Amino acid sequence: MEAFFQQLVNGIAWGGIYALIALGYTMVYGVLKLINFAHGEVYMMGAMSGYYSARWLGLSERPGAASLLAALGIAMAFCAALGAAIERVAYRPLRRAPRLAPLITAIGVSLFFQNAGQLVFGADPKVAPQLLETREVLRFGEVGVTNLQLVILGVASALCVALTFVVQRTRVGRAMRAVAFDRETAALMGVPIDRVIAFTFALGSALAAAAGILVSLSNPKVDPLMGLMPGLKAFVAAVLGGIGSLPGAMLGGVLMGIAETLVAGYLSSTYRDAIAFVILIVILVLRPAGLLGHAAKEKV
Amino acid sequence: MPAERRLPRGLHAVALLLALFAFDRAVALLHNPYFSQVLVLVAVNVILAVSLNLILGFTGQFSLGHAGFFGIGMYVAAAISVHAGGPILAFLHEVLHLPLPAGRTLFFLLLLGAGGAAAAATGVVVGLPSLRLQGDYLAIATLGFGEIIRIVILNIEAVGGARGLSVVSSIPAYDVRYEGLFAVYTVAVASILLVARLVYSTRGRAYLAVRDDEIAVESLGTSPTRVKTEAFVVGAALAGVAGVLFSQSQGYVHTNSFTFLRSVEAVAFVVLGGMGSITGSILAASALTVAPELLRSVADYRMVAYSLVMIGMMLLRPEGLFGTRELTLGGLRRLLGRRTRVAGTTP
């Protein structure tokens, strides 16, 4: 039983990372009805920028909260710009094209970052410098919680709260919801569509960058292909929670993290990657709108 | 038109086989196993591209799991030849007293049939639930199935698991290095003709119609799900056939040969060649298979180039590759032109 709770704790921390990535997918899907396949690569670039900023600024020599915040800030700012740039170059020109077109450019962008990344950064995994020292801070019987897990959950929750505030309580958030609801009508009401969509990408990409930094805290292996699987799984998490729904993405992310660690712990770690896709197919067949989503009627 | 073409068509087939045989002999004269191997890879990739084009280009269903079916064909053929190859060949030669070449050919056909059938059956299982989904959901669901197929095979000990499976050592391999090109290219040409015939048949009109307007198809009393599943299963079976050829020519199979990237590669062939253009797929698949071999020194940039080509193609002429009304007509005219050209390869 202790082992089960330990897996649960690990799963929830891991799920926090999925939740952060899933939020970006769900926001972009909300405004553009597009699966941003390049989102996993933005997460990778977040981890990479964390790695390089930690090395160049010497953050790893002074591990602690300040270094972590600095790395987070740099990575989030960099990826926000990157996300907006990807939208500008690869998706905006295709706003009116058939829906397959931006999907294919999205895959193209994703491939580009994976392979250009291998050329620029090298294909071998890099060991991310330690920004925090691991130690166990909480213990319930046999179940231990490390400070890293608490930091991951804390940062992830704080970002989720901040995001909810931005989307629900600010002008730009209201504009985002308007665009998601009906883009054309929003444009008629004077909402600057292009800027709102760019902002949505920037916001989602910043969250993915944060996920990249957090993941390299506990799993310090950074390489150009690291975004592929987490990206796909976070998308599955977004679908599980109900794509377009922010609480859904958070819930889906945590559930996905738990499912994955339990499968790895009790079945076989080789099936770890399969469970996400099994969940995806089950949810698409049984409840395509997701756990917290609303089914949309198809208009003829 | 069929009446006046009835006689020449039989001659066409004979001439086509003769041309393939001459091609096979010509390559064998070069005594270059590497060159033959590249030519086999070209054929494999052409089948992959054309079969995906049937699903993606002609029926408009975005599948990102095509490599999964390729893998099924690959592993079914490998498993049969490793675990049952000896007894089956012995049965053919010693019990039925078939001459050696006939026995081998029969065995090869058996592998093709088994690989194709297994991939088709998987195609039904994958297609029925996922083809109810639209566009991007379908893409991600097929991607999921492709990965599940790979991970399941990776965990089957009987086919070597993560070690892969050596095919050559245990079977009297159908030698696809020199003599085999005839067989490989006959299979490839047959697959291409199958897709071409299917797409231009009355039945094939339904595929194009589903791509262009699913709701209209439904309102005319044809079930889009049935049409889509049909195209999907045929495409999957052909991908399985490509997998059989691949496993028999490589002598070694491993799950790394059909990762997500292979599916993406197949999509790149189709997108580059033009969605809904069979000759386009053939040219793109051949060019993208041969080019990295010629440019070994810059092979690292291959995937970067793929990605840029995919993005650039969509940005510069997205409509050119899709079926807006007049472009569909233009595309059809192109396709008709190509049909005579396919027939034209047989003098």
Question: pLDDT tens digits, residue range B299-328?
Answer: 678 778 878 887 888 888 664 444 333 334
| pLDDT tens readout for residues B95-134 | 887 777 777 788 888 999 999 999 999 999 998 888 877 7
| Confidence at residue B161, expressed as pLDDT on a 0 to 100 scale | 80
* More confident of the two residues B178 and A256: A256
pLDDT at residue B294 above 70?
Answer: yes
Nearest to B310 among A107, A116, A273 (CB): A107
- Beta strand A136-140 with A221-222 is unpaired
- B277 compared with B346, residue with greater pLDDT: B277
Cα B69 to its chain centre, rounded Å, is 10
The mean pLDDT value for B147-171 works out to 79
Give B171's DSSP letter: S
> Which stretch, A283-287, B76-80, B239-243, has highest mean pLDDT?
B239-243
What's residue B318's pLDDT?
Answer: 62
To the nearest whole Å, the CA of B282 is away from the closest chain A CA by: 20
Partner-chain contact A116 B154, CB within 8 Å: no
Q: Which residues of A touch B256 (CB under 8 A)?
A: none
Place of tokens 């797409």: B199
Q: Do B144 and A105 touch (CB under 8 A)?
A: no
* pLDDT-based confidence at residue B334 (cuts at 50, 70, 90): low
Task: Name the minimum distance, in Å, from the CA of B311 to any CA of chain A.
Answer: 5
Q: Do B322 and A281 touch (CB under 8 A)?
A: no
Optimal mutation site among B259, B307, B327, B328, interface A, most CBs of chain A within 10 A = B307
Closest CB from A104, A236, A300 relative to B314: A104
Between the alpha carbon of residue A242 and those of residues A35, A163, A164, A295, the distances in Å are: 13, 17, 16, 9
Residue B4's pLDDT is: 46
Partners of residue A109 in chain B, C-beta under 8 Å? 307, 311
Q: Do B135 and A100 touch (CB under 8 A)?
A: yes
The predicted-structure confidence for B10-27, as pLDDT tens digits, reads as follows 787 888 888 888 887 777
Taking CA atoms, what residue in B is nearest to A95? B315
> Chain A partners of B306 at a C-beta cutoff of 8 Å?
108, 111, 115
Whether ipTM exceeds 0.85: no
- The answer to whether the CB atoms of A111 and B303 lie below 8 A apart is yes
**Is pLDDT at B172 greater than 70 in this prediction?**
no
The C-alpha of B320 sits at a distance from chain A's nearest C-alpha, in angstroms, of 11
Contact of B11 with chain A, judged by CB distance below 8 Å, is answered with: no
Contact yes or no for B143 and A270 at CB 8 A: no
Tell me if B148 and A228 make a contact (CB, 8 A cut-off).
no
Of A88-97, A178-187, B157-166, B289-298, the poorest mean pLDDT is in: B289-298
Q: Which of B130, B141, B315 sits opposite A93 (nearest CB)?
A: B315
Q: How much is the average pLDDT of B51-66?
A: 91
Q: What is the pLDDT of residue B5?
A: 46
Among the residues of chain B, which ranges form H helices? 2-29, 33-53, 66-83, 85-90, 100-130, 135-154, 180-200, 202-212, 214-219, 224-250, 260-273, 278-294, 302-316, 325-344
Contact B255, B161 (CB under 8 A): no
Residues 6+ positions from B215 with CB-CB distance below 8 Å = A300
Residues of A in contact with B320 (CB under 8 A): none
CA nearest to B146 within chain A: A277
Between CA A60 and CA A105 the distance in angstroms is 37
Residue in chain B closest to A90 (alpha carbons) equals B311
**Which residues of chain A does B136 touch, with a Cβ-Cβ cutoff of 8 Å?**
34-35, 99, 103
Instruction: Verify whether the Cβ–Cβ distance A102 to B155 is below 8 Å.
Output: no
The answer to whether B314 contacts chain A (CB < 8 Å) is yes
Interface mutation target, options B148, B262, B309, B325, chain A, most CBs of A under 10 Å? B148
Contacts of B153 in chain A (CB under 8 A): none
Contacts of B155 (CB under 8 A, 6+ apart): A268, A270, A271, B161
Question: What per-residue confidence (pLDDT) applies to B1?
Answer: 41
| Partners of residue A222 on adjacent β-strands | A126
Whether B333 has a pLDDT exceeding 90, the answer reads no
Task: Determine the longest span between alpha carbons in chain B, in angstroms.
Answer: 62
Mean pLDDT in each 10-residue stretch from start to end of chain A (300 residues)?
84 92 90 88 94 84 82 94 95 84 88 91 84 78 83 91 92 92 91 94 96 88 90 90 88 94 85 86 83 64
Is A100 in Cβ contact with B143 (below 8 Å)?
A: no
**How far is B298 from B301, CA to CA, in rounded Å?**
6
Among B133, B155, B309, the residue with its CB nearest the CB of A284 is: B133
Subunit contact A270:B154, Cβ cutoff 8 A: yes
**pLDDT category of residue B136 using cuts at 50, 70 and 90:** confident
Do B310 and A108 make contact, defined as CB atoms within 8 angstroms? yes
Cβ of B151 and A34 within 8 Å? no
Rounded to whole angstroms, how far apart are CA atoms B307 and B310?
Answer: 5
pTM of the model as a whole: 0.82
Q: How far is CA B287 from CA A86, B9, B283, in A?
A: 29, 30, 6
Are A270 and B137 inside 8 Å of each other by CB? Answer: no
The CA R_g of chain B, rounded to the nearest whole Å, is 20
Specify the 3-state DSSP secondary structure of A230: helix
Q: Is B152 on the interface with A (CB under 8 A)?
A: yes
| Residues of chain A positioned with their CB less than 8 A from the CB of B260 | 228
Q: Return the residue in A32, A92, A271, A277 with the most chain B beta carbons within 10 A, the one to mutate for interface testing.
A: A277
